[in-house]
Amino acid sequence: MILCIDVGASRLKWGLASPHGWLKQGGVANAEIGTLMLRDWQNLPRPARVVGVNTAGEAQRVRVEGQLARWRAGIEWLRPASQGGGIVNDYRQNELGADRWASLIAARRRSARDDGGDACVVVNAGTSVTVDALDADGHFRGGIMMPGLHAMLKTLADAMPQARTGGGRVKEFPVNDADAAATGVVRAVCGAVAETRARLAAADGAPVRVYVAGGAAREIAPHLVAPVEVVDNLVLDGVLALAD
């Protein structure tokens, strides 16, 4: 069995996999990593391997390794490579987040399953939003990054303290500040996805599917043009693929 770990900016997600698929998955806020062994992992069988990605920094890495020490288990921290999992990586390796790399690997596998390997755009929508382009030949062309929905709303609130920017909903034509703010940040992300998709389709000459992951995935996906698929644990799927 393999324990896969994804340490993001605000949350840690984990999954225990057998040769037949996921046995159990869960997640905690980063502030609660110290409770994993007592709460989430207490009744898990000891994994044969532990593999993970970390974009939260050194302190969180040490905390995760401290929890694993009770199993006397080490962890293999994955890092981006020039190629792997059927992908050739055009992004500067020392700047690409390991979570994005894992997501691309998982998306490539899904694309091969769903479309025979067509081009796809991979969106990770969490604390920040990344929009990455993967062509039909498995080349990661590159991608863009922008603040997440909550970060954009906070920026609006700071810049416009007189406006009511919280608690709004996406509307066709907003008529109040809260809805205008909510609609604006979602359309900003959707516009970035649409432009990346259009550029990839023009360069690749093939249909482009979109995979959306992260905490804000279900807020964004309904406003994107099909085909779109929300994948709850795309990073973990990629970690497992790389481990295999």
Within a 13 Å sphere around the CA of 112, how many CA atoms are in the beta-carbon half? 11
In the set 99, 132, 135, 179, the catalytic residue is: 99
- Report which of 98, 95, 100, 93 is spatially closest to residue 79, judged by C-alpha positions: 98
Cis amide leading into 227 (omega within 30):
yes
- Is residue 99 annotated as a catalytic residue, yes or no? yes
- Whose structure tokens read 């929890």? 67
DSSP 8-state code for residue 194: H
Biggest alpha carbon–alpha carbon distance for the chain: 58
Bridge partners of 132, per DSSP, are 122, 143
Length in residues, the chain: 244
Q: Are strands 119-125 and 208-213 parallel, antiparallel or unpaired?
A: parallel
- Whose structure tokens read 């990455």? 132
DSSP 8-state code for residue 139: E
From its phi and psi, is residue 122 left (phi > 0), alpha (psi between -120 and 50) or beta? beta
Catalytic residues: 99
